[in-house]
A and B are shown apart, each in its own frame.
Chain A
Amino acid sequence: MLTNEPWIGFAIMYLLTTLLISVQIYFGQSNRLFGVSIPTEAEQDRVVRRVRWHYTIFVWVCAVIIAGVCFLLARQGDEELRAVCVIIAMLLQVPIMIFGIQWGRRSASRLKEQKGWHVPAETKRVAMIPIGRPRNAMLSIWWFGVHLAIIAACVVIAIVKWDQIPDTLIAHYDLNGVPDRYASKTVGEVFLTNLVQVIMLGIFVFINLVIGKARNALDPNEAEASLQRNLKFKRVNSIFIWFIALVMIVFMGLIQAMELYGLDESMLNSFGMLIPVIIVVSLLGMMIYLKRKGLDQQRDPASDDERHWRIGGGIYYNPDDPALFVPKRYGLGWTINFARPMSWVLVGCIAGIPVIIAVVSLLFGK
């Protein structure tokens, strides 16, 4: 029996990610148009707004066309085709976004040339020497004890209820939330979820640590004010990371509970849908909060020069900058300096994590 529920979930998810992609260019430094520096007095120009507006329209038109094609195909095809359609529609958002941004970038560069705008690079640098106790913006590592306690609780419950766990476990669900693969009850299979929880927690703690260590982008013209903005910006990000980590770990705990103690399976459907929605909505909420407080105006003079932003402004490569993490050129968040050898190690690790998880589940799973 096919229920409509997962498809509503996908539709909501699709709408939300499209929304996120289409509005992201309105966040971040206002004197940047698709990564191209524009004069402060031109920020609110009609032509500047139009470049952003065109991008938003482009993203939505593409999204509607793809959704329409998918809908028509899915109505005629079988279950498998529907699943393929959903995945393709989701994946297509990436090239659309990249194309849209490059298009916006070209328009921005052309506009800058036409108007003869000249934005001199900042030649001043400011740094703070912390006196006394350093001001740490991030949540301390102890806050993640909450997550660890939840994981521990999951493990303890599994040990206590060991005898009640059925001998055959559900190892995999299909798109409709119907079990399609089973495994026998082994220590590896029962605690696999907890291992993944721990790995995930480790990643979140690491991100929290790294953001805390990232350079404070200080504006030479208003050092103290920009420092305060930086610290608040980092703190909001830290709280967001803490929250998302909590949601993910609780979610995995629930999956484990369904698998082991036969918790109502229909719950999985609703949770599976809810998680991405919670993540996207809280991300949007955070972005709006940061913008309203003016905290998205993070100007980093050291990485300001357009020369260092390669491949359509997406890759930062500056051998003269010792920093590994720098604020992104457009949008919010941080990116890495590819001129540092450490960046390649990091990229390798990130690419390696899914491989590690796959290997771990192969080793312990069966």
Chain B
Amino acid sequence: MSSIEKMLRCRITGNESDCESTLRRLSDSGIFHMENANEGNSSVSKTENPYLDPLRQLSGLCVLTGHKFAATDYRENDLGQISAEIASMHERASELSDELKKINDQINSDTSFLAQISHLTGSSENTSVIDISQAFHCANIKTRFGKMPHNSFEKLDYYAENAFYFHEYGSDKDFCYGFVFTPRSKLAETERVLESLYFERIYIPEALNGDIRVAVSDLKTKIADEKKAAADCRKAMEDFRNTNAARVNELFTYLKTLYDISELRENVLFEGEIFTIMGYIPRSAEDSFKRLFEDIKVDIYTESPPDDSADVPVKLKCSKFAEPFSMFVELYGLPSYKDLNPTSFLAVTYTLLFGIMFGDLGQGFLVLLLGIFLGHKKKMTLGRIMERLGVSSMIFGTLYGSVFGFEELLDPLYESLGIHFLPFHAITNINNVLYTAIGIGIVIILISIIINIIMGLMKKDYERALFSNNGIAGLVFYGSLLILLLGGMLGLKVGGTAYILLLIVLPLLVMFFKEPLGDLAAGKGFHIEGKLSDFIAANFFECFEYLLGFATNTLSFVRVGGFVLSHAGMMSVVLALSAMAGTASPIVLIIGNLFVMALEGLLSGIQVLRLEYYEMFSRYYNGGGKPFKPVKVNFSEMIS
């Protein structure tokens, strides 16, 4: 078991004039977990952060210019001056942004109009071109240009007798475009029919005269000019961004630091001229922490937190091997300060079970490489976990003699070494694989119960340590039952009335009465809460659930063996497909291996995590700890 970092409760008091520099040092230290010294003091009101407005404007400037902020060094600035500077930069960026928006709106509008009037040029080279001025200025004929759905176009034949003519000029997926000609006297009637056909009129501007192809060409030129203007505007914005990037970074770093520190003042208790800050630091860093404040007049008082304190933040302390696995523990919930840190146990069992389930020398090596890439290049914790899992997979792959699904590849090696019991081919030893999986499960469950007993005793929780299903009663019951079953399977003479009464029935009765017995052990006397009948009914079903739980939790580990077999099975399918693929055999082999690797790797990872959480953590671990969060400036958070 790993441990939990020992903490010291820390109280810092000093003169108000030193408050800001104290907060800055706390923020820079990276080891101070701040508590609210005002807790319970309702008279404290939140004051407006003076850095909020300029910071907000600066964030707005970054959004407008597309600037990606990076923290940098800074020097002290006057708030009034930098506010004016930011306002000036924001104004310029807004001007450029507005101009760009205006041009883009114009481009969208012109492009949309071009799409519509381009149908006026006709659908083919042979289509006659209408002179717009002539079409719209006939003495007795009214002209409408527009579009109608294809479905309506198909209905036009029905209106052959009506006094209008639709001249199709082009079409797209949904609409037919064209002119409608109708006598002036019949316009109202025609428009009624057109409305029922969902005809949408497209208004042609007065300026669009003469040959429509020329007009379309002019519009295209205009759009091209507008696009050039938009590009110039974007270039101007880019230049502006690049010119001011260093200054914006400096201002942002400065303002965000002051903003976050100012926010911390909320947790500071002010009594007259004196301020008080409360928090926690790791015991191991006490000296270095105190040295940070040598040159300012503050009193730092540290003490060990009381035993019963539930508020102490938790920082997990793990070995280098187990450290990335703390991610899984945090996912479940941190242990409380007085609990044991389960990370090492989780790391060992997770790595072992994954290796057993996903044993393949070649695929394990690829998982290792992927893990190195993700862990070191991308700084992903999961990558570091994959490194460990990859190695485990390679070890078990070597034992199984499996290399990218080739189960006989390592046979000559073992023969040359004279090791005859290896490699262990899972597919020909199905029963052994399944029995071993259950055996591993039994060992892990027993260890989990023992951990729970130790933790219960450490916390002086005797009900948990002695009388519960995960305490000594459960351990004796489960262990004795297993010995009885094993003896029966091996034909050994185990059991007898005394054995059953003392080692099976008695622990079961102890589990049945665990609550009153726990009270008795705690010195509160043996008494049953509520009605006796309710107590019996509730505990009967609880005990039944324990029995069921022992059986199902043990059998749950069969999945470990199941995955060993499924890996061998799936790879044999890949090899069979590869053999059928002829010249494409290597490709099938590569794709098959990648597929199996991705699918099985993911499934094994999830299944092992499930075993960890449900079969192990549920026996000895509660979570509910408070994470250790040192105060620091958060540069990744923008203020909008």
Are A and B co-members of a single complex? no
Residues of B within 8 A of A (CB): none
Binding site for B on A (CB under 8 A): none
